[in-house]
Structure 1
Amino acid sequence: MKKVMTLTALILTSLTFNASAAMDPKLEQKLIEVCKTGLTDNLYKFNRTMMENKINKRRIFPRLVCNGESFHEFAISNGANRVAKKIAPFIQGATSITDLAMNNTSSQILLVKF
């Protein structure tokens, strides 16, 4: 019984260590700095943070999540509209195709009599 308990404890311990995040602590600190500058509406501070940390906007902003929100939504919800406007081109949008014939239900029919 002791062997089974020991083996189970070792297996569970190894699983918990493998489940930890594989992010470099330095990278995590850089991203936290970017999130903190998203709280302010200071473009100078934002640009300086981006340049100091050498962050690629096209790679980071579609994926960066601050407090459970995308960075763009995070900036808007904290009143940093200028920062949100600056990164808006880097956010991936959603595209949908709408059939125009289906939307033409309220069109008027003209009757011409000769």
Structure 2
Amino acid sequence: MKKLLSLTAIVLTSITFNASAAMDPTIEKKLIAVCKTGLSDNLFLYSRTMLENKIDKRRIFPRLVCNGQSFHDFALSNGAHKIASKVAHYSPGTTSIIDLAQNSQSNAQYSVSF
């Protein structure tokens, strides 16, 4: 279990460092499954999908783009207000502090279309 989680973290990290690399098909399937939960307002389906795919919400939701929209906006535009409220606090905010040592690659987005 921990090996799979570590492997997923390594794969996701490698994707963020190389934005031009193609996405691993298994990760893409998992992200598409998460995006599909944004089409319904079913919290049970959302929770089950997150657990089955072992999604790290803090890492994925600020960067996940479903059909050209952030996951939060995607869920709102499809009427999934309960799910949108669950992920709203993961949306990136604005700050006035600028971290000069920040790696520009860490803000990469995971964009999937289905």
Shorter-chain TM-score range:
0.5 to 0.7
Superposed CA offset, 1:72-96 (max 9, x none): 0000000000000000111111246
**Bigger relative contact order, structure 1 or 2, given CA contacts below 8 A and separation 6+?**
2
Paired with 2:36 and 2:21, the residues of 1 have a C-alpha distance of 21
Does residue 85 in structure 1 map to residue 97 in structure 2?
Answer: no
Paired with 2:74 and 2:91, the residues of 1 have a C-alpha distance of 13
Q: Which structure 1 segments of 5+ residues have no match?
A: 1-19, 97-114
SS in 2 for 1:88: helix
Q: TM-score, normalised by structure 2?
A: 0.65
Question: What residue identity is the alignment partner of 1:59?
Answer: R
The size of the alignment, in residue pairs, is: 79
Percent of paired sites with the same residue: 69
SS in 2 for 1:39: coil
Q: Which structure 2 segments of 5+ residues have no match?
A: 1-19, 97-114
- The runs of at least 4 consecutive aligned structure 1 residues that moved more than 6 Å come to none
Paired with 2:95 and 2:73, the residues of 1 have a C-alpha distance of 19
Does residue 75 in structure 1 map to residue 75 in structure 2?
Answer: yes
Which has the larger helix fraction?
1
Q: TM-score, normalised by structure 1?
A: 0.65
